[in-house]
Structure 1
Amino acid sequence: MSRIHPARWQTVEQLVDQFCESAQVPAIALQVLTSETTSHYRQGRQHINDQNGGLREDAIFLVASITKPIVVLGVLKLLEQGELLLNDRVKQFIPEFGCAGKHGITIRHLMTHTSGLPDMLPNNRELRSAQAPLSEFVRQICELAPDEPPGRIVQYQSTGIAILGELIQRITGKSTPQYLQEELFAPLKMHDTALGVPPEWESGASPKVNRIVEVRIPAELNIEPHWDWNSPYWRAFGAPWGGLFTTPADLGKLVHMLQQQGLAQQQRLFSSQTIQEATRDQLPAIPGLSETARQGKGWGLGWQIVTRAKSDYYGDLLSDQAFGHGGATGTVLWIDPEREAAAIILTTEPQEPQGRFLARLTNAIVAAIEV
């Protein structure tokens, strides 16, 4: 059994206050789950130029790449239904993908970042500046040549997750946002979660879109007014690799389901075996991937396995069983089965590549957990 030590939790709150009051981080909202307690805290500004705090209790955050393992969960739902196998070649479902050296790329390769594809398209900025639709990104990814043959390197790749989103659409006939809403968010009662801002969030007497917290855009990314994370274009885009909007409370429901090995809301959403497979390191079993290539790295199916060599975003104190994912907008979610604990830390300060604010908060949170 685990719980939060009250006095040590004060250190976590003080650290959040320090980051926000010094304007190092505009806004922070977190939720920590242990087997006995759930703790919440929030601080900061709803909008970057707010002078006196004002972060809403029901604030909605763009969580960026935490989206990735959630899209993978959607594909794993199809696996449980007998629609596909992890070692199926992607071209079986998306024929135009099977060119330019991508013939051998499997669904497992995409889920474990071993496909050899680059992270982003070479003209990613140009496409976003032109407000290109997701379909154009997918079309160009299908024409792309990988940097290495599949199964040779571990290289983080948003392009592969985009293809998993297309895979969902080809098999189900539904868009990825619709499919995730029906298969994940609705059953989990994640009522403030969506992949891309849906039209209904824009309407009504109190539009839900007003609850979205503004992200502070780094100067190097502030190139076009409609390009950035806060733009109507990007909010509605629904990128499978980084377009999820949600709250700490909603993500807590997803985390609890994972901790319960697929059980949620008194129903079994996934088999326990599926969750175990998704959260164990897949890299040692991938043929052709050398020990050198996977040294210091760990990937489950969509989830990053926290290793001693990989403390970015995750701090220094999590156990060898921990897994999670971070996001470029300044977010991280981690689950540590050994400590029977998990944390969701959502901020609006992009923290690539080291995620120092997130790592420091994680260290303070882990130190406050008694097992």
Structure 2
Amino acid sequence: MEALSQIDAWDVPFAAAGVTRADATVATHGETGRSVPLASLSKPIAALATLVAAEEGVIDLDEAAGPPGATVRHLLAHASGLPFEGDAPIARPGRRRIYSNEGFQALGDHVAQRAEMPFADYVRAAVVEPLRIGLDPRGHPGAGMQSSLDDILALGRELLAPRLVADETHQEMVSVQFPGLDGVLPDYGRYRPLDWGLGVELKGDKAGHWSGSLTSTRTFGHFGGSGTFLWVDPDRGIASAALTTRRFGDWAKEAWPRLSDAVVRELG
């Protein structure tokens, strides 16, 4: 795809990008097997492992977890009241959309306790091994994983056509949790509301979205502060990802939407 060659002009030490449909990769550009830090792109992976745990009966999405009054569902949807960092709540559960790394640490600790195994080991068994990918799930559950473009495109295929969880569970993942909550999308500002699923941000009708202007309103995904992103557009049947080794900033706000719109245009 000609669109993917845009990454050659990015002022980054390393970049790889690709597009996939549910059945196969469409195209890639760059070194697809190099593993890099995912930062917050770890969160959809942690969420998928948690949903597998729910289907296996290890946990229940609505059982208590995290701060008083919060549940697993609150943690996954950034609605637990925990701040970005720190274990002291700054709001009551279900009142505000507060993007929280701390919430995903609490989530990983909770699943690990229930499963009686380290969270990284559970991610390996629930996600990495079934998808036959080389992703390294060690580190912070919401910010510490490492992976290659090949692995992330495999995740994109799973999110387009789920095999690890039932369709009903997948639909919960990509549906608005705790509707109407306002919040701040990191580095983008406040949205009223800021819709979120279970571990994934929902594009909806947000203007100036990082996935571009041509992806559908049902697009969902995540980006990471290490310069990584994955979006999944179920209406168009495609997912696109880019991995870099440059911290997210204004460069990404300009480059990512332009790349995404070019991908959509080229695929028609």
Aligned to 1:65: 40
User: What is the CA-CA distance between 1:242 and the residue it aligns to?
Assistant: 0.8
| Structure 1 residue 312: Cα displacement | 4.1
Instruction: Classify the secondary structure of the residue corresponding to 1:195.
Output: coil
In terms of Rg, which structure is larger? 1
Which residue number corresponds to residue 230 of structure 1? none
**Residues 1:316 and 2:213 aligned together:** yes
TM-score, length-scaled by structure 1: 0.66
In structure 2, what is the equivalent of residue 76 of structure 1? 51
| Secondary structure in 2 matching 1:256 | helix
Q: Distance in 2 between matches of 1:302 and 1:164?
A: 11
Q: Which residue of 2 aligns with 1:16?
A: 7
Match for 1:34: what amino acid? R
Question: What is the TM-score of this pair, normalised by structure 2?
Answer: 0.89
Q: 1:120·1:157 contact (CA, 8 Å) conserved in 2?
A: yes
**Displaced runs of 4 or more, over 4 A:** none
Across the aligned residues of Structure 1 and Structure 2, the Cα RMSD in angstroms comes to 2.2
The 1:183/1:57 distance shift into structure 2, 3 A limit, reads closer
CA distance in 1, matches of 2:260, 2:85: 28
Instruction: Tell me what 2:187 maps to.
Output: none
Report the alpha carbon displacement of residue 246 of structure 1 after superposing the two structures with TM.
0.9
Partner of 1:335: 232
Matches within 5 A, 1:99-248: 102-121=67-86, 141=87, 144=88, 146-190=89-133, 192-196=134-138, 238-248=139-149
Residues 162 and 339 of structure 1: CA distance in aligned 2, closer, same or farther (over 3 Å): same
Residues 97 and 182 in structure 2, CA contact (< 8 A), matched pair in contact too: no
Structure 1 runs not aligned, ≥5 long: 1-8, 43-55, 91-96, 122-140, 197-237, 264-268
- Rounded to whole Å, the distance in 2 between the matches of 1:301 and 1:363 is 25
**CA contact 1:325–1:332 (8 Å) conserved in 2:** yes
Deviations 1:145-202 (A, max 9, x none): x111111111100100000100111011111111111121011100x21123xxxxxx
Counterparts in 2 of 1:188 and 1:116: CA distance versus 1, 3 Å? same
State the alpha-carbon separation in 2 of the partners of residues 320 and 326 from structure 1: 17
SS in 2 for 1:333: strand
- The one-character-per-residue Cα deviations of 1:21-74 (angstroms, maximum 9, x if unpaired) are xxx2221101101367610001xxxxxxxxxxxxx5521111111111211111
Query: How far has the Cα of 1:307 moved from its partner?
Result: 2.8
Unaligned runs of 5+ in 2: 184-189
* Identical-pair percentage: 29
Q: Counterpart of 2:136 in structure 1: which amino acid?
A: A
Contact 1:278 1:303 (C-alpha < 8 Å) held by counterparts: yes
Which residue matches 1:253? 154
Q: How many residues align?
A: 260
Amino acid at match of 1:31: G
Name the residue aligned to 2:20.
33
Please give the alpha-carbon distance, in whole angstroms, between the structure 2 residues aligned to 1:249 and 1:37: 9
Q: Which residue of the partner structure matches residue 276 of structure 1?
A: 171
- Report what 2:261 is aligned to: 363
* Superposed displacement of residue 116, structure 1: 1.4
Are 2:182 and 2:193, in contact at CA under 8 Å, matched by a contact in 1? no
Decide whether aligned partners of structure 1 residues 86 and 11 sit closer, same or farther in structure 2, where only a CA change above 3 A counts: closer
Q: Distance in 2 between matches of 1:82 and 1:57?
A: 35
* Contact 1:331 1:358 (C-alpha < 8 Å) held by counterparts: no
> 1:332 aligns to what SS in structure 2?
strand
